Chains A and B, each alone.
Chain A
């Protein structure tokens, strides 16, 4: 077993889990690890990304600290997961971004907001920032649609590409010794259902744990609000784009129109969900927290939360002199969010989804051991 100290510690623990198996019904991690007798670094990263951090196994385990076997998978796998994001980052030179993630994202966000603000002031007539709300063009008076597309488009495309490359790296490592093949469409669909319902953030049906030993945690609900809120916001932008290019219908749209409705509902969900998740994170039982992972999660949640709040602010106060400032703020935050997407907590969803696909494939067709060339 090669790998980092954390990967080796995780391997020590899951070897014990593999001998015990009491947690088999709790989540995806245990059935996955029970398919093997020995583990390499890529396996550990795969298990780490399958773990949804529900905390149930810690409270259910007869070997959790202070027992000398010291089993604490939620914390250990959280650490491995965080490390794995850096290992699979593309380009590899940007891997260190994961280490001081909170700081990097804060700086990127600040620079981005400042740049939008400065740009809008410099490119437009003096005072336009505070008078554009009266313009018939709405916020396009401050920044044209073409300028927005020209700026956001390339960043978006780059981020997507970088994340695809990261996924490739993850998949290669996960299949380095034992590989899965076949049943891909059915497995993809299974993973969509498992991820979409957060099937494994539920302690196997008993509920998950956060601040204490009671399975009354609401993170699953908050995550649903966050994820589906984000999707609705994304849908709002997509519908807007289709309106713009397909039908020549240009923003601003009326409150009842689809982009506005989707964006408003999604914005409230996203704001509430991320707020709930941040509060839950602060209350989390310290025993379960890998200190090194806190900054990244908080930074990502805060960026999503700000995206939602500034978006809603723009929606509500779009007709007031505050519109210009809010627009700069919103665009700055969204720009920073997209730019840092491949280098922050956002990637957890991608690797977890890929891990769920791999598990579904392994369950259907088994693991095949690669023969050394």
Chain B
């Protein structure tokens, strides 16, 4: 192994997404020399940031992109609603307050914004959409970082951390030129969660995790998170929990991203491989319910289900990457899906018989519902009777995990017992559980990443300067 001969950087940043780059840029601005090690090759740099599309930020007035004010208190209410209070209120307040400066900060590093995308007008006031999406945003951050003289190494993973009593001394990294020990005066860990580590997920989910699809980067294996926890950093967030939605079962194992999502559940019924419905498909508006379906499908046999709908629903929801599987009859569709045609048609028949006619309207909780079946479909229930019939196969798609490292207001990690580490900082998904202990709010991952990335970079540079 080569040991470093030249003096190491002031700040070593492990990770290459939004949080990592915000930290690197901020540390460099404060005068520190910075090395970023990114496990992915250049083309896949940026982890899950590549798949993001917007950033939630509080603001007192609208602007050319944001359609109106989004006061801090409203942001707070939204966060409380989705987390059910599972948040560190102090860090949550800090995140929200600091989010106000993100618009200007992002513009300052070359990130461009656009009007809310088609189908997302409801987010136009609260969320700033990146022109060209998350990868375009990353390209701007990397461009800025390079111009500032930040060194970036791709294809380079940290394989060991030398931490003594909460003090970081050096990291062993493995890149194209082999392993190397890099000493630095401060460490920023921004290397994501562990959702791509199926073995780790199995600790909580058992064999079911074998059938999970990972919506983002294959590099979020939680290697750094594990090292920090093993070194005595205090954990935060429920390790058994992850954000799981129902995505197209034909999607790639990793990195399928946004296009694999399916927004059509409220237009049909969802059957498992025993041809049984198992949850109220019309319980509430889709944006409020889409994040429960990953878990629901994970609890079904073989972790698979099918969304079944008829011709009436075609064109009413956002298109997705793969075409629906279609057939002129219900039995024919069941055969294509590999399901028992008799049982399949019988379950749809039972559903159809229970439908109470009403005025179909997806804008409100309408009165189209079922009577006398379990589970019911509370709204938007219409008979599935207009050929051809269609189905999408779905599996759990894991977006991110909640387990992380506890941090303080400076983004410094806290050791067990509550003492802050002298020189280890964390930002992004690796610590998002401090603020988002449960649930999800569109664009908040990027908010947490940017706010704590900047705090981490600032803190690390300040530590180096002292």
CB–CB B321/A69 < 8 A: yes
Q: Which residue of B lies closest to A66 (CB)?
A: B43
List A contacts of B139 (CB < 8 A): 59-60, 213
Q: Contacts A62-B135, A63-B259, A214-B143 hold; do A19 and B118 have CB atoms under 8 A apart?
A: no
The stretch from A20-28, A115-123, A333-341, A346-354 touching chain B is A20-28
Instruction: Report the Cα distance A25→B258, complex, angstroms.
Output: 17
Q: Contacts A22-B133, A68-B252 hold; do A15 and B319 have CB atoms under 8 A apart?
A: yes
Q: Is residue B72 contacting chain A, with contact meaning CB distance below 8 A? A: no
The stretch from B109-117, B197-205, B325-333, B338-346 touching chain A is B109-117
List B contacts of A26 (CB < 8 A): 131-132
CB–CB B132/A23 < 8 A: yes
Q: Is residue B291 contacting chain A, with contact meaning CB distance below 8 A? A: no
Cβ contacts A25-67/B at 8 Å (1 or 0 each)? 1100001001001000000000000000000110111111011
Most buried by B among A16, A18, A60: A60
Nearest-Cβ distance from residue A27 to partner chain B, whole angstroms: 10
CB–CB A37/B133 < 8 A: no
Q: Is residue B9 contacting chain A, with contact meaning CB distance below 8 A? A: no
Identify which of B114, B119, B134 contacts A62 (C-beta below 8 A). Answer: B134
Identify which of A59, A68, A205 contacts B112 (C-beta below 8 A). Answer: A205
Instruction: Report the Cα distance A13→B250, complex, angstroms.
Output: 16
Instruction: Report the Cα distance A59→B143, complex, angstroms.
Output: 13
Instruction: Tell me how many residues of A have a C-beta within 8 Å of chain B.
Output: 32
CB–CB A59/B136 < 8 A: yes
CB–CB A62/B143 < 8 A: no
List B contacts of A214 (CB < 8 A): 143
Q: Is residue A192 contacting chain B, with contact meaning CB distance below 8 A? A: no
Nearest-Cβ distance from residue A309 to partner chain B, whole angstroms: 37
Most buried by B among A19, A204, A214: A19
Instruction: Report the Cα distance A274→B143, complex, angstroms.
Output: 30
Q: Contacts A59-B136, A205-B112 hold; do A20 and B259 have CB atoms under 8 A apart?
A: yes
Nearest-Cβ distance from residue A9 to partner chain B, whole angstroms: 15
Q: Which residue of B lies closest to A64 (CB)?
A: B43
Cβ contacts B43-67/A at 8 Å (1 or 0 each)? 1000000110100000000000000
Q: Which residue of B lies closest to A71 (CB)?
A: B259
**In chain B between 247 and 283, which residues have their CB closer than 8 angstroms to a CB of chain A?**
252, 255, 257-259
Nearest-Cβ distance from residue A145 to partner chain B, whole angstroms: 54
CB–CB B320/A60 < 8 A: no
Secondary structure dominating the interface of B: loop
List A contacts of B258 (CB < 8 A): 19-20, 22
Identify which of B118, B119, B135, B319 contacts A60 (C-beta below 8 A). Answer: B135
Q: Which residue of A lies closest to B252 (CB)?
A: A68
Instruction: Report the Cα distance A18→B322, complex, angstroms.
Output: 11
List A contacts of B372 (CB < 8 A): none
Nearest-Cβ distance from residue B214 to partner chain A, whole angstroms: 14
Q: Is residue B353 contacting chain A, with contact meaning CB distance below 8 A? A: no
CB–CB A204/B321 < 8 A: no
Q: Is residue A206 contacting chain B, with contact meaning CB distance below 8 A? A: yes
Q: Is residue B318 contacting chain A, with contact meaning CB distance below 8 A? A: yes
Q: Which residue of B lies closest to A22 (CB)?
A: B133
CB–CB A62/B257 < 8 A: yes
Instruction: Report the Cα distance A362→B134, complex, angstroms.
Output: 29
**In chain A between 191 and 216, which residues have their CB closer than 8 angstroms to a CB of chain B?**
203-206, 213-214
List A contacts of B43 (CB < 8 A): 64, 66
Given contacts A22-B134, A56-B132, A206-B136, 10 further A-B contacts (CB under 8 A): A20-B259, A21-B119, A22-B117, A37-B315, A56-B136, A60-B139, A62-B50, A205-B131, A206-B112, A206-B132
Which residue numbers of B lie inside 8 Å of A, CB to CB? 43, 50-51, 53, 112, 114-115, 117-119, 129-136, 139, 143, 252, 255, 257-259, 315, 318-321, 323
25 examples of A-B residue contacts, CB within 8 angstroms = A15-B319, A15-B321, A16-B259, A18-B319, A19-B318, A19-B321, A20-B133, A21-B117, A22-B132, A25-B114, A25-B115, A25-B131, A26-B131, A26-B132, A37-B315, A56-B136, A59-B135, A59-B136, A62-B133, A203-B132, A204-B132, A205-B112, A206-B131, A213-B139, A214-B143
